[in-house]
Structure 1
Amino acid sequence: MILENNEEKRSTLWRTVLTVSSVIIIIVAAFFIIKLFTSNPLEGTWVSEDSGAMIEIGDDGEMTMTGMDAEGTEQDVTAEYFVDTKNKIFTIQTEAYGQAEGVLSGSYDYNVEQDTLTLTEREYGDQMVFVREE
């Protein structure tokens, strides 16, 4: 057995094992707590329930919107976005990428419930509902 008849060495070894395992548990818990409160809740791929348009939101401040234009052809639009998690405001800017004003450009109040994202236009109150794609 480990350190058979030496009670002092067994006690020291046991305290060392407990201390190391406690530190590891605290580090893992701190990592998950920090990740929970600092991550982007909108990150991922979202599909519109109405139009079938798809929004891919990355963690780098860029997003891609895929949908049908007026002529019925598929169009990809790249945009820059900002998320204010405290006030739950999602701001999209397409002008920086040479796109025309419009195509979701503006500020939205957002709400995420399970796998459903609801964007509410701040000025007019129009809502768009998206479902997270697996």
Structure 2
Amino acid sequence: MIYENNEEKRSTIWRTILTVSSVVIIIIAVFFVVKLFTGNPLEGRWVSEGSGDMIEITDDNQMIIRPEEGDRFTEIRCNVDTKTKILTVAEGPLDSDIIQPGTYNYNIEQDTLTLTEREYGEQLVFVREQE
């Protein structure tokens, strides 16, 4: 055993181990809390309930739109405002019927994303794709 006859050194080693473990646990907890509250809730792949088309929203505010048929896809800028729960899809070269440029209110319940077009009220429903 380490330092069998020296109680002071064993005590010092034990306190060091406890301190380092506590610091590591605190760092991990802070990481998860920050990631939970500052992350993009829309980040991930979403599949349309009606058509099977897919949109993917990345952490750097890119939206990749993939129709169900074919290998083509469109990449466009978007902005997510988590405070007002608004998704803004930028104008761009969209040849897609999945989602049009504009502003949408979003709502997430469990694994279901509902986008409501702010001007006309049209709703688009997507389900999070499990990886």
Alpha-carbon contact 1:78-1:94 (below 8 Å) kept = no
Letter in 2 for 1:38: T
Which stretches of structure 1, 4 residues or more, deviate above 4 A after TM superposition?
A: 72-75
1:50 is aligned to 2:50: yes
Q: Which runs of 5+ in 2 are unaligned?
A: none
For 2:72 and 2:91, locate their aligned partners in 1 and report how far apart those are by CA, in whole Å: 14
Q: Which residue of 1 aligns with 2:115?
A: 119
Question: How has the CA–CA distance of structure 1 residues 99 and 5 changed in structure 2, closer, same or farther, with 3 Å as cutoff?
Answer: same
Unaligned segments of structure 1, at least 5 residues: none
Q: What is the count of residue pairs matched by the alignment?
A: 128
- Quote the residue 1:38 is aligned against: 38
Q: How does 1:43-82 map to 2 (within 5 A)?
A: 43-67=43-67, 76-82=73-79
Give TM-score scaled by structure 1 length: 0.84
Identical pairs, percent: 61
**CA RMSD for the aligned pairs?**
2.2
* TM-score, structure 2 normalization: 0.86
> Is contact 2:94-2:100 (8 Å) kept?
no
